[in-house]
Copies of this chain bind each other. A is one copy, B any other.
């Protein structure tokens, strides 16, 4: 252990068996680091099953605030004999392998170039606890205790966290403390500590919070005033609705009566879920659903109806690795093309791309405004990494004076003033027409909603000219939308390079890190993070003002780049794809090496 100390900069991976209670111990570990004011970022790598298979929890600690996944694991904590062979291999040379040495390590797991830290976790816990469940559970807490010593985590931080966690069940705290100490004491007695890789308190977090994106979406929908919610369970989107349900039941119950100012229905499938959303929005309630790839596929027909009949709808698609069932517990950004043009015929949908839980909150809230203002589906594309992993981010923010933007709706008073109501009449010349809610007025404002073609007064027609007028108006609405959707985020006041880089969603973390690193190496890239589709003039301008633009995405087929080619008439050679699609979150290394390839080629062409 002669390495020079490295403070607040390592990756540690916990190798567990799912269903054994390791999740809360691992979270305790991460939260403690957060509480010490140090940027930290965990990734849960779990199997598509319920119990008994290998599961990993990877935590990156970064003084610099780099929150992307990073290759090269410094420390592995392995309590799963099932995956041990591979776990040993996964440690970087010079790294640490912490394991349960109650049983002796197999000879073949011994590597010369890494450090082994054996702790008899099973033995310690079997001796310290009598209940079998506790013996199993507290092994996890014990290794956290061991790490507290090895990595210098402040013990009182754990005490605080446990006190909060077990509020109301205080008698559980001493057991946990005991387990922490089991591990901690064993290290103190048997090893040199702390490790050269270790932690030191900082003040780098500020008022930031640590939360997952799905929870943020759920809370965002509560604040946006969603009242009718229908969904069908599917990983990794389920927890969006769970969060919505949890916060609704806290914040939307009438105290006296226990009645709910919300209706949440578990649908029989995704077709029904989006159907209910469409029915509710048609009837004037804000309504949304959440799903993942297979569900999105099933919603195609209804999304086309909502586009053509012009009904608001909010859909949160938490993307996972496709195609088909694919890898349901791995991340990807591969529903972009499907979401953008879902359904047969000429259809286009608004997309929003949050990159942090904070943005999940903000954009979810905004999606309802956009859907109602534009009277069309809005699809929020997040992903498993954002949705199910905890992220450190800005706190949520709400202005009490904020009003819901309900779009162009005519009420009884308005109708009284109108000669003849034309549901699809482009009065304002922006492609957006006025609607009424059912039940508004005895004799004015009723109309027929349909997926078939109709004229400006919502009367069924098969007249080609009327059909074409309507389709052109929808295109005009699309143009209007370009100025209404959230603007891209630019990382520079003025462009300074002939190279640009474009990314969206969770690629943000790796890209920001990569840009920073390249910057330090003297390679300058202008950067733009997209928040929405369709693309506004600003997006055109950014691309136009660079010679070469990298487009970073987490899918195989360069789907966002495809949208750019289709919608913006960009010379394709200008857009160089950086693609990551193995289901693991993107790393900065990957971005840098892909950028390097192009720059090297350019250099070599110069020579």
Contacts and interface: CB of A to CB of B under 8 A. Distances in A.
Contact of A298 (B300, B323, B337, B342): B300
17 contacts: A293-B345, A294-B301, A296-B344, A297-B343, A298-B298, A300-B300, A308-B323, A326-B345, A326-B452, A329-B462, A330-B462, A338-B341, A468-B582, A472-B556, A565-B565, A571-B571, A571-B573
Contact of A450 (B325, B471, B584): B325
A464 to B, nearest CB: 3
A345 B324 contact: yes
Given A323-B308, A465-B582, A344 B348 contact: no
A22 interface: no
A464 B330 contact: yes
Interface string A209-248: 0000000000000000000000000000000000000000
A348 B571 contact: no
B300 A452 contact: no
B452 A557 contact: no
Interface in A335-376: 335, 337-338, 341-348
Given A572-B570, A583-B464, A334 B344 contact: yes
A interface, how many residues as a size bin? 35 or more
B293 A344 contact: yes
Contacts of A566: 562, 565-566
A452 B325 contact: yes
Contact of A346 (B329, B334, B467, B573): B334
A48 interface: yes
A328 interface: yes
A345 B329 contact: no
A509 interface: no
A462 B343 contact: no
Contacts of A344: 293-294, 296-297, 322-323, 334-335, 338
B335 A345 contact: yes
A540 to B, nearest CB: 12
A332 interface: yes
Contacts of A332: 345
A337 B337 CA distance: 10
Contacts of A556: 346, 471-472, 475
Please give the count of copies of this chain that the complex contains: 2
Contacts of A573: 569, 571
Contacts of A583: 462, 464, 467
A506 interface: no
B309 A324 contact: yes
Interface string A83-109: 000000000000000000000000000
A311 to B, nearest CB: 11
B298 A581 contact: no
A347 B345 CA distance: 19
A421 interface: no
A388 to B, nearest CB: 15
Contacts of A44: none
A451 interface: yes
A248 to B, nearest CB: 28
A122 interface: no
A298 B303 CA distance: 11
The 5 nearest A-B residue pairs measured at CB: A322-B345, A323-B345, A324-B451, A464-B582, A293-B344
A47 interface: yes
Nearest to A472: B556
Contacts of A559: 346
Interface string A413-428: 0000000000000000
A304 B309 contact: no
A307 interface: yes
A150 interface: no
Contacts of A472: 556
A330 B467 CA distance: 11
Contacts of A507: none
A327 interface: yes
Given A571-B572, A582-B468, A584-B464, A343 B330 contact: no
Contacts of A475: 556
Contacts of A293: 344-345
Nearest to A566: B562
A358 to B, nearest CB: 26
A310 to B, nearest CB: 11
Contacts of A300: 297-298, 300, 338
B452 A48 contact: yes
Contact of A321 (B335, B341, B467, B584): B467
A556 B345 CA distance: 9
Nearest to A469: B582
Contacts of A308: 322-324, 326
B301 A581 contact: no
A555 interface: yes
A433 to B, nearest CB: 17
A8 B326 CA distance: 60
Among A326, A345, A572, find the residue whose CB has the most chain B CB atoms closer than 10 A. Answer: A345
A273 interface: no
Contact of A324 (B48, B334, B452, B465): B452
